Structures are given as C-alpha cells and as structure tokens.
Amino acid sequence: MSEIKLIVSDIDGTLVDRTERIPPELTAAVQKCREAGIVFALATGRTTELTEPFVSALEIDAPCVEANGAYILRGGECLAEHGFSAAPVRRILERADQLDMTVTLSNTQYERAVRETDYVRYHQSLGNRFRQLLPFSAIDWEADRFQKIMIMDESRSGRIQEIRERLEPFSDRYWITTFSDKAVELGPKGCNKATGMEELAALLGVGLDQVMACGDYRNDFEMITRAGYGVAVGNALPEIKEVADYVASKPYALGVVEAMEALCFR
C-alpha cells in the first residue's frame, strides 16, 4: 500500500464528542505527523467560524475542506468554492421562518441567521456563531452566493418534514440532506466531503491512494470509500465501519490517533 501523505478528518463525532474537548494525545499525534511531513487537514460540515477553533488549537496550516466540500480554506484564503443562489428556495426559507425554525445562510467567510431564535441566542452566548444577523430583507436574492443553508427545528416538532417535502423538487439543483427530525441542509449539487478531499489532494499534489480519511457518520461515507485508507472511529455507525479499511477500537479522537499510529507509523 502507498505511503500516507495526507490525513483528512471529520470533526464532530470523529475528533470530538459533544464536549468538543481536544485530548492532548491528538495534539501530539498531529505534531508528530507534521514532523514526518504528513499533512493533517479537516474535512467537515462546519463553516468557517466553527472550524477555526480546531484549526487554531491543532495548529493546522494546511487547507481544510469545509461546509461538506463546498469550499477549501487556508487561513483567510479561499482556494476553491462552489456557491449557489438561494433565490429558487426563497419562499421555502420564508415558510420555515414563519414556522419558527432557525434559518442560517453561510458563505466562505461567515454564517448568519436571518433572525434571533432560542437556538441562535444560545450559540451567540458561546461567542463563536451568529455574530451578526442577515435578515431576508438584506439578501440580494439574485446576486448573493452561499455555500450552505441550514433549516433547524430544534424543538423536533415534526414540521421539518414539510420543509423537506417542499425542497424535494429542487433536488436537481442542490445537495439536500436531512438530519433526523431536526434539520435540513442544502449545499451545492455534486459536492460532498469526498469531492472536497479530491480537490484538496489535487491542490497538494497527493494521490488519493496516499490519503487517509477518518469519519463516523453517513456524510463521511464517500470520503472514506474513495480514500486510499478509510478509517472509522470506534463510535462510528455500523455502515461506516463496514466500508472502512481500518476500524479503530477507540472512539473519537483517540480512535483517530490509534489509526495514525497503526497506518502512518507502523
């Protein structure tokens, strides 16, 4: 098998649990990779403001895949992006807002909510999200481009199903995914973490057979199956473990560290 030159890892459910605590073992392992000339990068559904703390904490200087492959960012520089107009789904977003759901729109620089909700206020209190609002009246529906839209029904009222059904006719324009009965996300059609990983590898001049990809959930499936070395952490879904080349015995970040030691430094 080829020597690993690039590691890409999901964040939520892979590197961290809900506490978002980064264990020292991971920090040490990333440093060990850096010293060995192995690039460590992130491939996440998170947008810029939510990814930055992990980039900073792990001292990552490589480009990272964000918003499920919609763009690649290094520092403040966007190296690749796939944006879309929200105009076709404007009425659906307004309907979600009328139903008291949280509607957020993200580009390569920021994530904005259209108004304050309990979800928005809670995350504002944490200090790293929704620093400003983007009301519908401030959106240029024809010119503005976004890389991700999220509709969140934190109360799990079941109304997200109505929104999902209204969005279905637009599945030829957007990548649409539903997270249980809580949220729906829209992204650019044809983009996912795997396409982002492929773009990143090409930017770095690395073959896919030299890439190790780590994940835990359904939106990591393509990435794990296309990488030369697909890794499922110990807490990953069974269907992710089934397609992985290496299944860690340990969960979350410790599982990633386990895989790094087994595959990169054996």
Give the range among 8-17, 55-64, 121-130 with minimum mean pLDDT: 121-130
Residue 47 binned pLDDT confidence (cut-offs 50, 70, 90): very high
Share above pLDDT 70 across residues of the chain, in percent, rounded to a whole number: 100
Residue 206, pLDDT > 80, answer yes
Whether pLDDT at 225 is above 90: yes
**Confidence (pLDDT) at 1:** 53
pLDDT digits (tens, 9 = 90+) for 75-112: 889 999 999 999 999 999 999 999 999 999 999 999 99
Average pLDDT for 219-248:
97
Q: What is the DSSP string of the chain?
A: -PPP-EEEE--BTTTB-TT----HHHHHHHHHHHHTT-EEEEB-S--HHHHHHHHHHTT--S-EEETTTTEEEETTEEEEE--B-SGGGHHHHHHHHHTT-EEEEE-SS-EEESS--HHHHHHHHHTSS-SSB--GGG--TTT--BSEEEEE-TT--STHHHHHHHHGGGTTTEEEEEETTTEEEEEETT--HHHHHHHHHHHHT--GGGEEEEE-SGGGHHHHHHSSEEEE-TTS-HHHHHH-SEE-SS-HHHHHHHHHHHHH--
- Tell me the per-residue pLDDT of 152-188, one tens digit each, with 9 for 90 and over: 999 999 999 999 999 999 999 999 988 888 999 999 9
**Whole-number pLDDT of residue 146:** 98
Q: Where exactly are the structural domains of the chain?
A: 6-81+191-264, 87-188
Q: Which CATH architecture describes the domain 87-188? A: 2-Layer Sandwich (3.30)
CATH 3.40.50.2300 is held by the domain 6-81+191-264? no
Report the mean per-residue pLDDT for the chain.
95
Report residue 151's pLDDT band, with 50, 70 and 90 as the boundaries: very high
